Amino acid sequence: MTRDWARWHDGYDDPSSPLSARLAIIRGHLAGAITAAPAGPVRLVSLCAGQGQDVLGVLPDHPRRDDVTAVLVELHPGNARQAAARAAREGLAAVEVREGDAGLIAGYADALPADVLLLCGIFGNVSDSDIGRTVAAAPSLCAPGGTVIWTRHRRPPDLTPLVREWFAAAGFAEVAFEAPETGSTLIGVGVHRRLADPGRRSPLASVAGGRLFTFTTS
């Protein structure tokens, strides 16, 4: 059965749902990452952005909204349209929604390196090897000192401990990892900051075919 990615977002409207709990955590860390970014322009990139609930729920009221230039990449046409419409309603002219495959770097290479990178809703829908490839490429996706926020369910076998190790090996310091109790749905939200070590940065061309990941969930 093909998943309805538009209806999937309905869980955000239910305050008791795991999705709603996850969104609140992401928004909190996103707001903090923008605040903590160095003075001046802040480049934000969100991959598989959906309807932009995280970014568009933070930027309108954030004190640094005018510093942020954001690119949201989303393959689902309806979700992309909703995100673009909401950004327009909020007067966020510096938020661009691009309809396309976020697994292909070429679609947003011009927006890199990001000061804030969102990899939310991805790692639970791609292969373990694709997660590893994406984490290994993260130093090239992020500016030194840049923040990555990612999510992954914690259902057995729980891969989140290994993902955290992969980020450390790629030259990131862990800022936070939250694993709230949300009933039968086990949520994990990680936040990592790229260390300012130019020796760890590898060219994006090193990612085979310029592809980070391919969704395995329809």
What's 193's domain CATH number? Answer: 3.40.50.150
Q: Provide the domain limits for residue 193.
A: 7-210
Burial of 45 (0-12, 13-18, 19+ CB in 10 A): buried
Q: Is 65 left (phi over 0), alpha (psi -120 to 50) or beta?
A: alpha
Whether 155 is in a domain gets the answer yes
Give me the pLDDT at residue 54, please.
Answer: 97
Give me the pLDDT at residue 18, please.
Answer: 75
SS3 207: coil
List of residues 6+ apart from 72 with CB closer than 8 A? 46, 49, 52, 55, 80, 83, 87, 95, 96, 97, 98
Give me the pLDDT at residue 200, please.
Answer: 52
pLDDT tens per residue across span 26-62: 999 999 999 999 999 999 999 999 999 999 999 999 9
Give the number of domains in the chain. 1
Whether 1 is in a domain gets the answer no
Query: What gap in Å lies between CA 47 and CA 60, rounded to an integer?
Result: 20
**Contact yes or no for 72/46 (Cβ under 8 A):** yes
Whether 66 has a pLDDT exceeding 80, the answer reads: yes
Whether 2 is in a domain gets the answer no
Whether 218 is in a domain gets the answer no
List of residues 6+ apart from 153 with CB closer than 8 A? 124, 185, 186, 187, 188
Whether 55 is in a domain gets the answer yes
Give me the pLDDT at residue 124, please.
Answer: 94
Beta bridge pairs of residue 177: 190
Whether 149 is in a domain gets the answer yes
Q: Which amino acid is at 41?
A: P
Angle at 94 between CA 12 and CA 30, to 5 degrees: 45
pLDDT tens per residue across span 75-114: 999 999 999 999 999 999 999 999 999 999 999 999 999 9
SS3 146: strand
Query: Residue 115: how many CA atoms within 13 Å on its side-chain side?
Result: 19
Burial of 14 (0-12, 13-18, 19+ CB in 10 A): exposed
